Structure 1
């Protein structure tokens, strides 16, 4: 195992009283973005005597002025460490930052805004402690969190990477009782103290390895979501199961460990049987309930948005999380029936001539594209962009049988085309060489429409990043939706 490039003593941080620590002296806030602003506001509420913003951009000075605190650059921040008691970092700052190396030498602990928010809430600084439900994984976080927030009704809200910013959620009126928190591996790395009421680890695939130092460390940071009262894990994901088994062996989990699956659930699982989501873990609304019987039928999987296996798994995971705090089957079923997936995450954007056009532009790596492809029998696949070194051949091999055609675009189009030609030579492949983002997508959709037959799905699941041609995955998906409608407007 490669050791995490982490300059902080995590054991000490876990045992620290963070509220007392930040009340005792100067605190540096690394980063002046949304997380940094929230951290400053929390520190002000907690009673920190001195806050110093560390940021090299012009935004840093503006934010510092807004809060009437000092601002320094990263080059000058080391001089502030002598009298500092902590650094609260924005999640994007790497553990290998020279500032954090200096902090380690000075004995100054480093943690994130999530750690501070959790500590403050546990200390009841903003009223009685809230219920924390943490969602993480390589793919599917946003859809699962959105589903969960819908199931919670008026008592809950999506927070963290989507929805309401953490500080705003903690100070909201009317009060938010349950926080459905989507947390990234970065946020969890900087929150070693977090112990949610329930946490779910959806899946694992290689991502952000340069930041974490190794795939093992990436997974370990993700598993922090499982260190609370109820641990819910993807029972169909071999890497997740391996981490959970190690944690059980090392006595790092409580007694409430629940799997979720898209197959028939075993005891202590939530899964799918005869087309219905079935709970065999939370019979009485808690993980200690008797789960020896056939289980509680929750809701049908037919009609779940987004369609396909990935959507079903997200729905089952969200159901398990909601059931962990006693949400009724009736409420869960009602929300799943009306839930609409967020844009670019398996969203149906057009239907024409019995062909369904689906935007899964968020599938920016092979793992996400695998989940997207798995849900459909006959696919015209739109693929390509920045592979960032990812190997696409296994993905092509796994799904060649369902491909009616492939339309390839983006900077790494030749790599994708070569893999298709080598592994699936019977699949028609159209390569779009145009690098103008609008013209390229127009040609992509025209080519896809020519190969799509009734009953097919035209699926944008690029398995690659978008920044070679687009401002982001949202712009890529939006243009796909626009041209899907335009190229079929005169058909039939």
Structure 2
């Protein structure tokens, strides 16, 4: 057995293991901090270094090497293992150099799995998909808390799994949101392979093709989430890709495939019977009976009643029920749930025009859910499309579009899509390099085409990093522009309390 193969516990001998952590974002910092605590000989290699993290790692005695993309620091060449931050593409020169030298590359998720027993080994519930991951992760955790369990939503949701496994209080379960980047680095076998309690793929549409290189590679990464699942493999009955993933998954004998959909569920599925959410999976008489989990009316106060969000609720319920949560606990959790900001959040209503922030719609598949629920829309769209095609979205929704406002450094895909599929719909381009002015101009342009009953919808269908720090800042700027408009309009009528009842 190699030294690395023996490192499957916090209590293994990590002393002196030469590790290079590539990147110093949230996960990179957590990995470096963890390895230092384990006694490994860790060096961070990063192109940019946050001053606060530099100071903390300095106190911990962790050296930092600032290097350019095409440099090859000695820390990489001499490492026994490399920990790759999720944002680094596999063709990054540092990772190519590690591969050429036969140096194993781990992601932060593999490292967390290996050391998950510091306090106690919590069960892991894994969630991925093109869209809805964060909301479903939060919902699942909320349902498990309603059942009295100690649980943490972690991973791509924002809190590194490595922070959770080192929490001295310990947890019964970790609900782990996984991006395709994190899944790419997971091994399918060997000492670092995960053995989750349950796993779910919510939906699949082409995304991050620039990172993965192809749609097939992206889907292969997502499919890894099911490997070695022991209790439930949850999938969308309405999504043929997720269904195929489950059918082909190498799960533990006895693991059940649990489907969810907005239709009447079959045995082993969750779904809707008229306006009632029902479970036909986790009961003995599932061929003849169903358990009520709540109604669509229960979803409405939390903003969960849209088709997309209802699917998220059903997926979360499948995972929670698989963990032993009672039907009444699922219902109570839904009633008390609160959505995060920037997920179809009603910012304001001014003179009968609603302004809705769905900045979290960072790809066309996510924007689909927003556009589908409004009858008349002025659509603010654009940013970094990451290889995704916005044209089918324009074609499907041109009937509900009053006008569109294109933002982003590269607006050509939007311009071309409207020219081809919706030439009669007004399209305004916000052409400015002043990122502080983008949303003010976009909101004013959108409002000029809106009328009572119309929704001005920020659902960019694209990433934000061309003009903003992240989708949250993009949404905040939108809200600021809407508030500024209200002030100019002299305090028009409307109600801006809480999120809109959709996602």
Tell me the TM-score normalized by structure 1. Answer: 0.84
* Shift of residue 70, structure 1, vs aligned partner: 4.2
Aligned match of 1:110: 105
Alpha carbons 1:89, 1:110 under 8 Å: kept: yes
* Shift of residue 100, structure 1, vs aligned partner: 3.8
After superposition, residues 344-355 of structure 1 pair within 5 angstroms as 344-355=342-353
2:26 pairs with 1:31: no
Deviation track 1:349-373 (CA, whole Å, cap 9, x = no partner) reads 2234554322111212212111221
2:366 pairs with 1:368: yes
Alpha carbons 1:307, 1:346 under 8 Å: kept: no
1:240 pairs with one of 210, 221, 242: 242
Distance of 1:73 and 1:359 partners within structure 2: 38
After superposition, residues 191-210 of structure 1 pair within 5 angstroms as 191-192=186-187, 193-210=193-210
Deviation track 1:26-76 (CA, whole Å, cap 9, x = no partner) reads 33333333323322333345454x333333545586554232244456656
2:136 pairs with one of 144, 148, 152: 144
Call closer, same or farther: CA 1:295–1:426 in 2, change over 3 Å. Answer: farther
Alpha carbons 1:31, 1:55 under 8 Å: kept: yes
2:86 pairs with 1:91: yes
**Does the residue aligned with 1:174 lie in a helix, a strand or coil?**
coil
Distance of 2:75 and 2:64 partners within structure 1: 13
Aligned match of 2:44: 53
Aligned match of 1:313: 311
Aligned match of 1:67: 60
**Does the residue aligned with 2:354 lie in a helix, a strand or coil?**
strand
Higher relative contact order (CA 8 A, sep 6+): 2
Alpha carbons 1:22, 1:85 under 8 Å: kept: no
Aligned match of 1:6: none
**Does the residue aligned with 2:186 lie in a helix, a strand or coil?**
coil
Call closer, same or farther: CA 1:339–1:116 in 2, change over 3 Å. Answer: same
Distance of 2:352 and 2:334 partners within structure 1: 25
| Structure 1: stretches of 5+ with no match in the other structure | 1-11, 284-288
Aligned match of 1:300: 295
Distance of 2:91 and 2:136 partners within structure 1: 31
Distance of 2:475 and 2:124 partners within structure 1: 32
**Does the residue aligned with 1:241 lie in a helix, a strand or coil?**
helix
Deviation track 1:417-451 (CA, whole Å, cap 9, x = no partner) reads 45335423454444444554454433433343344
**Does the residue aligned with 1:167 lie in a helix, a strand or coil?**
helix
Aligned match of 2:499: none
**Does the residue aligned with 1:257 lie in a helix, a strand or coil?**
strand
Call closer, same or farther: CA 1:377–1:279 in 2, change over 3 Å. Answer: farther
* Shift of residue 237, structure 1, vs aligned partner: 2.0
* Shift of residue 212, structure 1, vs aligned partner: 2.3
| Structure 2: stretches of 5+ with no match in the other structure | 188-192, 494-503
**Does the residue aligned with 2:409 lie in a helix, a strand or coil?**
coil
Deviation track 1:178-236 (CA, whole Å, cap 9, x = no partner) reads 21111111112222212221111112222222332322121111122212122112222
Call closer, same or farther: CA 1:434–1:102 in 2, change over 3 Å. Answer: closer
Distance of 1:337 and 1:353 partners within structure 2: 31
Alpha carbons 2:208, 2:388 under 8 Å: kept: no
Distance of 1:231 and 1:325 partners within structure 2: 12
Distance of 2:417 and 2:203 partners within structure 1: 25
Distance of 1:264 and 1:141 partners within structure 2: 23
**Does the residue aligned with 1:125 lie in a helix, a strand or coil?**
coil
Tell me the TM-score normalized by structure 2. Answer: 0.83
2:286 pairs with 1:282: no
Call closer, same or farther: CA 1:437–1:25 in 2, change over 3 Å. Answer: closer
Call closer, same or farther: CA 1:428–1:107 in 2, change over 3 Å. Answer: closer
Distance of 2:225 and 2:183 partners within structure 1: 7
Q: Provide the aligned C-alpha RMSD in A.
A: 3.1
Distance of 2:56 and 2:426 partners within structure 1: 54
Distance of 1:131 and 1:251 partners within structure 2: 16
After superposition, residues 463-478 of structure 1 pair within 5 angstroms as 463-478=461-476
Deviation track 1:84-116 (CA, whole Å, cap 9, x = no partner) reads 442233222333344444444544322122111
Structure with a larger share of its residues in helix: 1
* Shift of residue 239, structure 1, vs aligned partner: 2.5
